[in-house]
Structures are given as C-alpha cells and as structure tokens.
Amino acid sequence: MYGHTEAVDAAEAETTTATVVVPSALVGFAGGRSQISVEVTEGSAGGPRSPLTAVLDQLQREVPSLERRIRDERGQVRGHVNIYVDGVDIRELGGLGTVIVPGATVHIIAAVSGG
C-alpha cells in the first residue's frame, strides 16, 4: 500500500504542469531545450488551468528571448507562428484565451521560409 501512495503522489505532482514543445529552429533561443515544463496553477474547484496567455507569460519570465519570437510587442501571436494545444490549432479553440490544463502539450510551430 505504501508504494501505491508514492505513485499517486508522483502522478499528482506531474499533473500540475503542461509541456511546451519548442521547434528546432527556436531551440537556440530556449537555452537548448526542446521542451519546457510550465506550471498550470490558476483555477478553481475544477482543478488547475491557465489561459494560454499565462503560459506564454511564464515563458517570457523563464526564456524571454524565445517568447519574443512567439508574440509581438502587443502580446499577439506573430503571423509566422502557429500554436497547437494537444494537436488542435488555437485559432479553433479560443486563441490566446485557450485553456491549458495539466498534462497538455503546447506545440509552437514557426514557419520556415527559403528559396
């Protein structure tokens, strides 16, 4: 029974974060990290949840050089960047107000151009 309690505690600890997946083109701006765990702390009785803006604000505090490549000076997602939450484009969900829950995966996709 003791081992079960430890497993539950570990699982509960892990469920307070979401994962931001950084594209290889931007890994250099993320300190070499391709994945960044962010706390999902806001919420009520329904459990922790954060709007995407709060997740991006956390990125801004942790890795400002990365976040500047995701949002412009007005706080809007840059035109060449797409963001997906659990495989769904945020434009189909709620934009920057999209709710991020523990265990969610946020993919940042930066368009690459060339000729």
**DSSP characters over 27-58:** GGGGTT-SEEEEE---EETTEE-EEHHHHHHH
Q: What is the pLDDT of residue 63?
A: 92
In whole angstroms, give the CA distance from residue 34 to residue 107: 10
pLDDT per residue of the chain (115 residues) written in tens, 0 to 9: 444 434 444 444 445 899 999 999 999 999 999 999 998 876 555 667 789 999 999 999 999 999 899 999 999 999 999 999 999 999 999 999 999 999 999 999 988 765 5
Residue type, 46: G
Residue 112: predicted pLDDT: 72
